Amino acid sequence: MSRTNGTATLEPIKTAPIAPASLRSTDQPRLFQRVREQMDRAAEAVGLAPEVRKILSSPACEVGVNFPVRMDDGRIEMFSGYRVQHNNVLGPFKGGIRYHPDVSLDEVRALAAWMTIKCALVDIPFGGGKGGVQVDPATLSRREVERMTRRFVYALGANIGPGYDVPAPDVGTDARTMAWIVDTYAATLPPQERYRALSVVTGKPVSAGGSVGREKATGQGVVDLIECWAQDQRCKVADLSYTVQGFGKVGSWAARILKDKGAKLLAAQDVTGAIRSYTAEGLDADALAEHVKTTGGVAGFPGAQAISREAFFEVQADVFVPAALENQVTGETARLLKVRLVAEGANGPTTSEGDIVLRERGIAVLPDVLCNAGGVIVSYFEWLQNRGGAAWSAAEVDQRLREILERAYARVKEMAADKSLGWRDAAYAVALRRIEQVYAERGIFP
């Protein structure tokens, strides 16, 4: 069911035989293959219907577009973008759009599949999708990013839509990007239908139809789940210390909310470098977020010690929050960690080998599909508000988010105990069972 829109050529999906994770020679197989292996492992553990496994092993639809953008100096540049729609049996395809130089079809496929699992796990009526453009937005002017965004949306055409496929921010995109998407999408509709355009994306600025609480939502969810875990450990968040990798939308909010609860930020790392606190009191997460906003990264934060990337992984703390890109907790870095919990704010931060090492070392994991689901949950709230013409209060958003995450946490915990599974396998198992149930009820057309 692959289709191209424009001239991009899509690579066929390779169906390699699945080797047990421990026997693989490479630590970082293609990302979508890793997701399929993960789904297979969980499916095996709960005896999932084989046809459901088969359906989820390929995305339902893949759109690839090459499109021209006029740069500020008058030149025309070509850009490549993707939208992968993995599965929509639970509801419209849902997932962010990423601007990053390493974006590839394989990565977008994996990210789309993770959205399918994430939405099913937290039980919101969305499927999984993801988009991306291969570009480093930092090398473009603001106007160039705007023109690129608008041309990408125009090129995607009817492949996105409020009841069909609903993008959101991801790495390299933000609320402003979403506002341009609404505006461009609205311009493609007849005037009488433009009211529908608002819910074509979530993560918009609050003044342009966004939800309060969406900007911090992923970080808030990370903290809500760390609190669930702390409660099970009979300790208080105020007594925890933590380190954060990536100080963007997810990492900085998680760090700031943890700080408000009294936890201590001992170290942070991003592309610009790594820093640690000289004292047990920790770094001021709010001041660090300001520093990142003005300088572009954590490096050079006054009053902190510059350390190496390896030294960052070795900092002793209770919780490590990876909130950057994929493949950061590898077999190698997982051996360096001196923490009790890895709370995955990023998508796919842990490789298969990293996972094995964490398990062997008895380090607990709040897996990405659970831990960073706060973003898409509040996206769902935004979509509901847009469609109902409503505006919820910050307290209502926070409370409903927490309820959904607590329920999902409890479901994963129960599955892990029932089937003696690690939390990642358990989270996938809960999600797959939810999807299986719907296929069993609806059947397959014709």
Which residues form the catalytic set? 130
Q: According to CB under 6 A, which residues from 329 to 358 bind ligand GLU?
A: 347
**Could you tell me which of 343, 362, 353, 350 has the C-alpha nearest to residue 325?**
350
Question: Cβ closer to ligand GLU: 282 or 345?
Answer: 345
Each residue of 379-396: b (16+ CB within 10 Å) or e? bbbbbbbbeeeeebeeee
State the nearest-atom distance from the C-beta of 114 to ligand GLU, in Å.
7
Residue in 88, 184, 245, 379 binding ligand GLU, rule: CB under 6 A: 379
Which residue carries 């769902």 as its tokens? 380
| Binding window for ligand GLU (CB under 6 A); candidates: 53-61, 90-98, 232-240, 265-273 | 90-98
Amino acid at 184: T
Q: Applying CB under 6 A, does 173 fall inside the site for ligand GLU?
A: no
Each residue of 98-116: b (16+ CB within 10 Å) or e? bbbeebbbbbbbbbbbbbb
Q: What is the largest CA-CA distance in the chain?
A: 66
Q: Which tokens in the block code for residue 300?
A: 């050079």
Which residue carries 């000289």 as its tokens? 278
Partners of 68 in beta bridges = 78
* Other beta carbons within 10 Å of 404: 21
Q: According to CB under 6 A, which residues from 34 to 73 bind ligand GLU?
A: none
Region label for 174, one of left (φ > 0), alpha (ψ between -120 and 50) or beta (otherwise)? beta
Residue in 88, 149, 211, 372 binding ligand GLU, rule: CB under 6 A: 372
Residue in 56, 168, 240, 292 binding ligand GLU, rule: CB under 6 A: 168
Residue in 146, 165, 170, 326 binding ligand GLU, rule: CB under 6 A: 170
| Binding window for ligand GLU (CB under 6 A); candidates: 191-199, 232-240, 370-378, 386-394 | 370-378
| Binding window for ligand GLU (CB under 6 A); candidates: 64-72, 288-296, 374-382, 417-425 | 374-382
State the nearest-atom distance from the C-beta of 372 to ligand GLU, in Å.
6
Could you give the angle at the alpha carbon of 6 between the alpha carbons of 180 and 194, nearest 5°? 35
Residue in 87, 375, 386, 402 binding ligand GLU, rule: CB under 6 A: 375
Whats the size of the chain, residue-wise?
446
How many chain residues bind ligand GLU (CB under 6 A)?
Answer: 12
Q: Applying CB under 6 A, does 172 fall inside the site for ligand GLU?
A: no
Q: Applying CB under 6 A, does 88 fall inside the site for ligand GLU?
A: no
CB within 8 Å of 310: residues ≥ 6 apart? 336
Question: Cβ closer to ligand GLU: 59 or 203?
Answer: 203
| Binding window for ligand GLU (CB under 6 A); candidates: 2-10, 239-247, 311-319, 369-377 | 369-377
Cα gap 12→139, rounded to integer Å: 31
Residue in 178, 376, 412, 415 binding ligand GLU, rule: CB under 6 A: 376
| Binding window for ligand GLU (CB under 6 A); candidates: 27-35, 69-77, 187-195, 375-383 | 375-383
State the nearest-atom distance from the C-beta of 328 to ligand GLU, in Å.
16
Q: Applying CB under 6 A, does 116 fall inside the site for ligand GLU?
A: no
Q: Which residue is nearest to ligand GLU (CB)?
A: 96
Q: Are 310 and 338 in contact (CB under 8 A)?
A: no
Cα Rg of the chain, angstroms: 21
Cα gap 92→280, rounded to integer Å: 46
Q: Which tokens in the block code for residue 295?
A: 């300088």
Q: Are 86 and 116 in contact (CB under 8 A)?
A: yes
Q: Applying CB under 6 A, does 215 fall inside the site for ligand GLU?
A: no
Q: Applying CB under 6 A, does 213 fall inside the site for ligand GLU?
A: no
Question: Cβ closer to ligand GLU: 222 or 376?
Answer: 376
Cα gap 139→144, rounded to integer Å: 10
Q: Applying CB under 6 A, does 177 fall inside the site for ligand GLU?
A: no
| Residue 90 phi, psi dihedral angles, 5° rounding | -95, -15
| Binding window for ligand GLU (CB under 6 A); candidates: 94-102, 231-239, 308-316, 354-362 | 94-102
State the nearest-atom distance from the C-beta of 374 to ligand GLU, in Å.
8
Q: Which residues here bind ligand GLU, judged by CB under 6 A? A: 94-96, 168, 170, 202-203, 347, 372, 375-376, 379
